[in-house]
Structure 1
Amino acid sequence: MTKELEKTYIDEDGNLQFGDLYLEEISQETLATQKTETGTLEKLFEKLVESTQASKNQSLKHIAEKFVIDKFTSKHSNANQWIELFEKECMRFDVTTDEKKIEIFRLFLDKSCVDWCSSMIIKLTMNSEWLTWKNKFCETFANKEWNPVTYALLFKYKEGSLLDYAMRKEKLLLEMRRTIDTGTLVDLIAAGLPEFIVNRIDREVLQDTVDLFNEVSKYEHMVNKRVLLNKKRYEYPKINTKNEHKYPCKICEHLNKGTRYHAETTCWFRTKEDDKLKKKFIKHVNNSVIEAELNETDQKN
């Protein structure tokens, strides 16, 4: 230690000090112990960060499980409507930060949309703004075709449960346009029902789709009954494969082929006899033609 440092850190009695504070001497062993304790604290801090991150991911997954919304696929007809529902669910569970929204958003993408999300993470990163993700999503998956619209409007009952049809069509129409009014929604669902069912429902009592569902449920038995009647009506007669006829075939008896029980129209010997008659007739006709031609030649000569 230089003389200048001694004046600064050592008093008249030889004690180490800095200003009015006495300094404590630290040995090499104490330094080693402190380093060990520091390393232990660093490890504990790393574990704390990892556990915090894991609990954070787990909590986000737990929140996502409570969302009342289906996973988005490229088959959805209205991407704008789906993203609005997603944002409402985020508000309901107090998911406000952009980073959390993007992390939960990833959990609700399915099939090819997952690949799109991976590409977006590379381009925009997870730290980008939620509004940017939302705009890119709507631009990519906005359905500009008329197929989903026409399918929803022309969807009709064919078979099965009437109630299942009604609920299915309601979902298709709401996916097409969420702002559709209740009266139009009821009318479009009823228009796809069988005519003999619609004629039994009083339109004036239908204030909501629930009222239509209740009315439709009353006539499920009529649909099931009609299906059974149609099955009986279109049952084909059984083919007698055992040749169980009451009377023996007369053709076989006439040709001395034994007693055989089968229909005369399907008798094999009958077809053979018909073929023989045709050949004789053709031969007779040919002979007549030849004879006529010979007579003509004789007259000319």
Structure 2
Amino acid sequence: MEKLKFEFTVKSSTEDPKTNIIAITSITTPDDRCFILPDQLQPMRYHAKLTTTAGYQKIKATLQKRGQARKVWISLAGDILQQYKDEDGNIICNDYLLEEMSTAQDTTPTPNITEETLSRILEKFTEKKTEDKPQDYGIRNLRKVSEKFVIEKLTGKNSNVPQWMDIFENECSRLGVERDIEKIEIFRLFLEDSCIDWYGSMLIKYTLDSEWRTWKQNFCETYANKGWTGIRYAISYKYIKGSLLEYALKKERLLSETNKSIDTPTLIDLIAVGLPNFVSDSIDREKLNQTEDIFKEIRGLEHLVNKKNSEKKSTTTTTYIENKSKAKNSDHKPCSICEKKNKSNRYHPESLCWFRNKADDQQNKEYIRHVNNSGLEIELNTKDPKNL
């Protein structure tokens, strides 16, 4: 059983730059000959047999973040060794001859170039590299880096602040923002509303030279949602109108924000119960293994919702036209009381006419006054004038 040294590196996938994969970048023999693997052969899907070894399992548990790398010796049995070494001793990978990396330095003096000239060239090259390499992140560079972050901004109302922090730190690692002061400075660009006031207070208390861990812990303790409002909203969120797919995608995001480790069957069930019954009853639950499956089913059922909305709109339109036609054909005449008052083109029942009600009130007042006067006269006539 022979052994080879493999260099494993966590890097971005060529198919999806946001996805991290473990790749083999080089293979070294026991006599220190190093061979480079081409990019297309580096992903572990081309090294299925190697993934079964104990050495790879240790590497998989060790490498967690992008940019991390390890070199490890792995003993290879005959069937695995044939994948990396042919019968002639050449280092290969799936029958592809690997290129050996040269480590020897050419020490032959260059003719026609004096030592002084070579020194000046090296000084200029060093100065050029120093100018090109930023010594620190300025505000302009920070904004450029922040534009590459795939993350939403914090308003203090985000449902899962610790989960947002994990995504933020992963994005920092992906884009090379490693120092604490850089994380603290770029963190400010993702804050809105009351979070900006919180940042100002933290800046006064701890300054930029403090540890990023302190800022992270303080923010999570301040804005972490420890109640049930966000969870209640995510679970009870239901389809009302619009696109079924838009509803399903938002429901998935809300549930994932409240619980990152939610299992797929539960996620699918919660999305389905928020759909209208006639839509969810049209989906075969046994065929749903991933959330993509229910999204696919929902896209094929959009016509059910569109049809129902069209029928409802058509019914409403028909009812409006019928009512309008009835009103037009009915014997609808203007109020005669208003016409007498020169208030023409007023259509309402005469019993509800304002002018008629006013006239009735006036008549009632006159009748009451007349009755009162008559009663008083009778009373005076019946009394003895001597008693007056």
Q: Fold-level match, TM-score > 0.5?
A: yes
Distance 1:216 1:203 in 2: 12
Post-superposition offset of 1:52: 5.4
Distance 1:176 1:244 in 2: 60
Distance 1:196 1:164 in 2: 18
Equivalence map 1:171-186=2 (5 Å): 171-186=253-268
Q: Deviations over 1:200-231 (max 9, x none)?
A: 11111111111111110111111011012112
State the secondary structure of the residue aligned to 2:142: helix
Post-superposition offset of 1:119: 1.0
State the secondary structure of the residue aligned to 1:71: coil
Unaligned stretches of 5+ residues in structure 2: 1-129, 337-346, 365-388
2:137 and 2:182 in contact (8 A); partners too: no
Residue type matched to 1:194 in 2? P
Count of aligned residue pairs for this structure pair? 225
Residue type matched to 2:264 in 1? T
Post-superposition offset of 1:248: 9.3
Change (3 A) 1:55 1:174: closer
Post-superposition offset of 1:191: 0.7
Considering only aligned residues, what root-mean-square deviation do their CA atoms show, in Å?
3.9
Distance 1:222 1:119 in 2: 53
Post-superposition offset of 1:54: 8.3
Residue type matched to 2:274 in 1? G
Post-superposition offset of 1:74: 1.2
Equivalent of 1:76 in 158, 161, 183:
158
Equivalent of 2:240 in 135, 151, 158:
158
Post-superposition offset of 1:123: 0.6
Q: Give the equivalent residue in structure 1 for 2:138.
A: 56
Q: Give the equivalent residue in structure 1 for 2:177.
A: 95
Q: Give the equivalent residue in structure 2 for 1:210.
A: 292
Larger radius of gyration: 1
Q: Give the equivalent residue in structure 2 for 1:170.
A: 252
Equivalent of 2:188 in 103, 106, 109:
106
Q: Give the equivalent residue in structure 1 for 2:229.
A: 147
Distance 1:248 1:123 in 2: 80
Distance 2:172 2:284 in 1: 41
Post-superposition offset of 1:247: 10
Distance 1:143 1:208 in 2: 28
Q: Deviations over 1:99-149 (max 9, x none)?
A: 111111111111211111111111100000011011101010011111111
Post-superposition offset of 1:266: 4.7
Distance 2:333 2:164 in 1: 75
Q: Give the equivalent residue in structure 1 for 2:324.
A: 238
Q: Deviations over 1:174-212 (max 9, x none)?
A: 111111111111110011001001111111111111111
Post-superposition offset of 1:232: 2.8
Greater share of helix: 1
Distance 2:273 2:138 in 1: 50
Residue type matched to 2:280 in 1? V
Q: Give the equivalent residue in structure 2 for 1:67.
A: 149
State the percentage of identical aligned residues. 47
Equivalence map 1:226-265=2 (5 Å): 226-234=308-316, 235-236=319-320, 237-238=323-324, 244-245=329-330
Distance 1:62 1:56 in 2: 10
Residue type matched to 1:141 in 2? Y
Report the TM-score when normalising by structure 2. 0.50
Distance 1:247 1:206 in 2: 61
Change (3 A) 1:108 1:245: closer
Change (3 A) 1:238 1:60: same
Equivalent of 2:215 in 133, 143, 159:
133
Q: Give the equivalent residue in structure 2 for 1:195.
A: 277
Post-superposition offset of 1:239: 6.7
Distance 1:220 1:149 in 2: 27
Distance 2:197 2:191 in 1: 9
Residue type matched to 1:238 in 2? K
Flag the structure with more relative contact order, 1 or 2, with Cα contacts below 8 A and sequence separation at least 6.
1
Unaligned stretches of 5+ residues in structure 1: 1-47, 253-262, 280-301
Q: Deviations over 1:13-65 (max 9, x none)?
A: xxxxxxxxxxxxxxxxxxxxxxxxxxxxxxxxxxx99x957863333222211
Q: Give the equivalent residue in structure 1 for 2:91.
A: none
State the secondary structure of the residue aligned to 1:238: helix
Post-superposition offset of 1:233: 2.8
